[in-house]
A and B are shown apart, each in its own frame.
Chain A
Amino acid sequence: MPDVEGPFQRQELARIIFFHLPCAFAGTIFYFVAAWFSCRYLGRRDQSSDIRAAAANEMALVFFGLTMVTGILFSYVQWGAWWQSDPRQMSFLLVLLIQSAYVLLRLAFSDPAKRAASAAVYNASSVLPVLFLIFVFPRLPQVLQVSQHPSNTIQGGLLRGEYAYCFLAVWALILIYSFWLYSTRIRVETISRRLEVDDGILGIGGAAAGTGVVRPVSVSDSDREKAEEH
């Protein structure tokens, strides 16, 4: 990959765009997938939508985290500081905090139905602030004046040639891999919940019961034999 002309401390630093931008795009896509399934859950009250929303939110959190990490690495090499307090860094940090609050909210409930409903409402409520933070805030004139974050790389036609092909290839790979991870996560969670419902045994990957919560446990002989077989 050839070096590019630009105000970089090190020319190879430009290649971070192959990871930084696709991660941000993938995170945003998964966030909206999560919001869509949260809204669907509120309409249908089906477990499948809740599982899909939670899995998409986890994926969004991972990709937003990777975007943040690659951004921090770039900031350190380019500007000499891990944290620049750049408005774009701050807005992305807030998106990350909103995603983390969703996870926090899920952890606070032991009743699955209440957990699903509260998490879905929170995710749906967060759409407006997240839209503002991702699409409006970075384009405000006062933010553009002070931000060092490049904002017109694609719109300004600066991403071209080998860089454009490589960027698209990495983005496609990340999307394929992330959707495979997403579908695997959905399968794991579906099986986990089915196990919990079917035989009352909280086995693989189950969350700990909350204080004062008694899990349903089968007590009949036939059920005990079944449990021993497991």
Chain B
Amino acid sequence: MLRKELACEFRSKSGLATAMYFATVTVIALAIASFGRSVSGGLAAGIIWVALLFAAVVSLPRSFVSEEEQGTADLLRMLATPVSVFWGKAIFNFMVMAVTGLLLAGVYVQMAGIAVTNWGTFALVLIGGCGALSGTVTLCSALVSQAQNRGVLAGAIALPLLIPFVFLGVAAMRFSLGEGSWSGSWPSILGIYLYAVAGYSVGPIFFESVWKP
């Protein structure tokens, strides 16, 4: 499944390119909106997470929605097990989200002139966050793939589930941007990874329930 996703992506190059373009435009807009004023570490973490959240709900639902629109979903149902379909899509979405997230956060800290005091924690939070975001959005896009107005609906139902997680992300990232302490951040980092693990653990089970015809 993952090989198929990668082959389709390399053939069309539209998914990743669109996600990266969206991320770049978003951070440029955010950097311009601050009008050259310095942004605190806590606020910068919030801005980065909101941008990541919207990048995820805009770019990731495409993985399932396009299968239904192109009429290839039934072929997948015949050829692959639900678990392999979920894992293939989820890992591919994680790869797209990791590239998009690193680009988005990297460009934003450079443009807004924010000092990253701990690059290791910054990367750890970003990778864990992208993992959790892609797991949840993959499941939500599978839920709505056969619904009416599915393009908008995937984002609409995924956002309320992800906003509590953004709170953890902001709390975890603040430390790497010079605010707060490690003792205050590590429980949030742990929370992010637990959220990701929970999403990937129950995701295939739930997915099987909606993927069956």
A interface list, Cβ under 8 A from B: 42, 91, 94, 97-98, 100-101, 104-105, 108-111, 114, 117-118, 120-122, 124-126, 128-129, 132-133, 137, 142, 210-211
Q: How far is the CB of A116 from chain B (nearest CB, A)?
A: 10
Cα A202 to Cα B202 in complex, Å, equals: 37
Closest A residue to B136 by beta carbon equals A125
Chain A binding surface SS class: helix
Give the residues in chain A near B163, CB-CB below 8 Å: 94, 97
Query: Contacting A104 at CB < 8 Å: which of B136, B156, B198?
Result: B156
Chain B residues closer than 8 Å to A126, beta-carbon distance: 160-161
Within 8 Å CB of B164, what residues of A? Answer: 91, 94, 129, 132-133, 137
| B157 contacts A by Cβ under 8 Å | yes
What B residues does A98 contact at CB under 8 A?
A: 160-161
Would A42 and B149 count as touching, CB distance under 8 A?
Answer: no
A122 vs B157: C-alpha distance in the bound complex, in angstroms?
8
Residue B108 interfacial (CB < 8 Å): no
Say yes or no for B105: interface residue by CB 8 A criterion.
no
Cβ 8 A contact of A117, one of B156, B157, B210: B210
Residues of B within 8 A of A (CB-CB), count: 29
Distance of A156 Cα from B212 Cα, bound (Å): 51
Bound form: Cα–Cα A52–B156 in Å: 24
Interface residues in chain B, defined as those with a beta carbon under 8 Å from any beta carbon in chain A: 136, 139-140, 143-144, 146-150, 153, 156-157, 159-161, 163-165, 167, 171, 195, 198, 202, 206-207, 209-210, 212
CB-nearest residue of chain B to A109: B147
Beyond contacts A101-B156, A105-B147, A117-B209: 12 other A-B pairs, Cβ-Cβ < 8 A, are A42-B209, A97-B160, A109-B148, A114-B210, A118-B147, A120-B209, A121-B206, A121-B207, A125-B139, A126-B161, A128-B195, A137-B167
Partner of B160, one of A94, A109, A211: A94
A94–B160 CA distance with the chains assembled, in angstroms: 6
- Neighbouring B residues of A97 by C-beta, 8 Å: 159-160, 163
Inter-chain contacts of B165 with A (CB < 8 A) = 129
Cα distance, A128 to B160, chains bound together (Å): 12
Provide the bound-state CA to CA distance between A142 and B167, in Å. Answer: 12
**Contacting residues, chain B, for A142 (C-beta < 8 A):** 171
Given contacts A125-B202, A137-B167, A104 and B161 within 8 Å (CB-CB): no
Min CB gap A132→B, angstroms: 5
